[in-house]
Structure 1
């Protein structure tokens, strides 16, 4: 183990890794040192071998056991269960209900990652981490999302197969990564509950897919976004992501970030 003794008289650059990770809530400095000895910490993808390693918390990327660590404590990550009737913008020019009501209690200026259309409810991420927001909402990123849709009519096994086999829409071929029938309701106006998993960010793609197979959507909720699950969070409520959720989200973004992700690319609307 290289102790990385600093030459006498030279001003050290950066902050000791142990101090940074302790401040980030990973573990105590002594435990972090043990992690280094065990080869469990990487900086910018390279395993750390020196106990005296210093880093720049603003630019260096650190992971422990392959999970990204949030070093910038000024960044906030919030999960919102967006209710229907709310547009996914911070200020709607037409005066419709927007996301400001859900961000006013946070000191930071938060923005939404991607969008859900006004009549779709469910999981929406709010953050002041602009870089992460642009990466996750970039059209080429393809983060996996899970939706539950209530549709008109009785969905058959053949319909489920068609959704996963795929078909052409006006803007190209599309297929669900997974599809399954959750429930059906008989009677004069039968309906079905369908779960769709897909990574496309095309405009209103879930509604268009189900309409194409003959089952228009009457209700739609996004239950999952990448590693994040809506769980029991009630409609109209928000909560900060846990440390584990933040790590999973940052790990996803760092590993699969599209090279051409730039601000203004977030076009997703479901």
Structure 2
């Protein structure tokens, strides 16, 4: 295994390039003063980015060069064997200030003083990205883990890592957060929650409002790391999945896998016969067209209609906005199905574990 460069690529200690300790192979010191990166410096850059030739792992900085060569992450040119890096999700850098105060939810390892061998973090070409390892260990979500890395709170094999995307072997690397070693919990949890109306789809709420984190608080305190798959707005009830299986959750939320979701919507007014065809053909919203996979009129009662809609869209308030656009505002909305998982007669606020058949169907739906 080759050693890790500051951008997560092999060849950290090549001649003329500074290593992670701030010293070049030619014997001179870099601007980092021989110290490990400790987090953010004035201007929002880590100390590693001050080293000549060091390229922080993240979005390209306009005009940045390394030793006279064009940055291989930009459009100005490519080095042989290196591809361009996609911008960070949502086009932004991790928030360092948020990372400094983010809660570490992981359960500490039983053995806190392991022997650290080698010379700092080691790059593994087919390894797992550090933020994904931290999410699997229950430290935080992937996004939260990226913020904690940027804040200088994560250490790998005795070396503080502040750049994003370093690939490591999670079974061999010794990972610490705030000086405490963490380990990956291999046991997977798959839960179905019937979210009550008025509850927030968050694990905690700064305003003290009821949230799904209150329902699973005992599980989290016992060491389980759980996060919700997608969201329901406060006024929407029904099925919400909770898991610590990061890859499954990511695919279930990604629109490319088109996992269907079914809703029961009580809408204002008595819907006409042509509404189903209109919804299947598509309704234009401000952020683009949306259509349903299936539509069924369930009942009409005193100026209201109950309809069942199935769609694979995941945009914010998409069902409410769609029905508003066709002249039938939603009065009540309940999500009853996600793929092959059904809400059934599950009571509001209650949890149940998914069975093997349901878990297998979810995996099949997203190609796992």
TM-score (norm 1): 0.64
1:73 CA drift (Å): 6.3
Aligned-residue RMSD, C-alpha = 1.6
Matched, 1:157 2:282: no
Give how far 1:138 is off: 1.9
Are 2:348 and 1:232 equivalent residues in the alignment?
Answer: no
Whether the 8 Å CA contact 1:181–1:195 is kept in 2: the answer is: yes
Is the Cα contact below 8 Å between 1:183 and 1:193 reproduced in 2? Answer: yes
In the alignment, what sits opposite 2:291?
175
Determine if the alignment matches structure 1 residue 207 to structure 2 residue 207: no
CA deviations on 1:27-65 (whole Å, 9 max, x unpaired) are xxxxxxxxxxxxxxxxxxxxxxxxxxxxxxx9xxxxxxx
SS state at 2:367 partner: helix
CA distance in 2, matches of 1:137, 1:192: 29
Aligned to 1:146: 262
DSSP 3-state at the match of 1:157: coil
Contact 1:152/1:215, CA 8 A, preserved across alignment: yes
Q: How much does 1:178 deviate?
A: 0.7
Rounded Cα–Cα distance in structure 2 between residues aligned with 1:116 and 1:74: 26
Aligned length: 182
- 1:70-89 correspondence to structure 2 within 5 Å: 74-89=187-202
Alpha-carbon distance in structure 1 between the residues aligned to 2:192 and 2:285: 32
Give deviations 1:8-39, integer Å, cap 9, x for gaps: xxxxxxxxxxxxxxxxxxxxxxxxxxxxxxxx
Q: Quick check: which has more Rg, 1 or 2?
A: 2
Question: 1 CA distance for matches of 2:225 and 2:271?
Answer: 43
Which SS does the other structure have where 2:257 is aligned? coil
Where structure 1 has 5 or more consecutive residues not aligned to the other structure, the ranges are 1-57, 59-71, 256-270
1:123 aligns with 2:239: yes
CA distance in structure 2 between the partners assigned to 1:85 and 1:76 by the alignment: 25
SS at match of 1:140: helix
> 1:81–1:230: 8 Å Cα contact kept in structure 2?
yes
2:345 and 2:256 map into 1 onto residues whose CA distance is 30
User: Counterpart of 1:101 in 2: which secondary structure?
Assistant: helix
Note the C-alpha offset of 1:139: 3.4
Alpha-carbon shift at residue 88 of structure 1 (Å): 0.6
Alpha-carbon separation, structure 1, partners of 2:272 and 2:263: 18
Kindly report which structure 2 residues correspond to 1:61-76, keeping only aligned pairs within 5 A, or say none: 74-76=187-189
**For the Cα contact (< 8 Å) 2:192–2:242, is it kept in 1?**
yes
* Runs of 4+ with >3 A deviation: none
Distance 2:276 2:364 in 1: 32
Deviation at 1:211, TM superposition (A): 0.5
Q: Which has the higher contact order (CA 8 A, sep 6+)?
A: 1
Q: Which string of whole-angstrom CA distances, capped at 9 and with x for unpartnered residues, describes residues 233-264 of structure 1?
A: 11111100011111111222235xxxxxxxxx
- Report the 3-state secondary structure (helix = DSSP H, G, I; strand = E; otherwise coil) of the residue aligned with 1:249: helix
Q: Distance in 2 between matches of 1:130 and 1:167?
A: 33
Contact residue 341 and residue 358 of structure 2 kept, 8 A = yes
After superposition, the Cα gap between the structure-2 partners of 1:205 and 1:78, relative to the gap in structure 1 and judged at 3 Å, is: same
Is the 1:84–1:121 contact (alpha carbons within 8 Å) kept by the matching residues of 2?
yes
TM-score of the aligned structures, taking structure 2 as reference length: 0.48
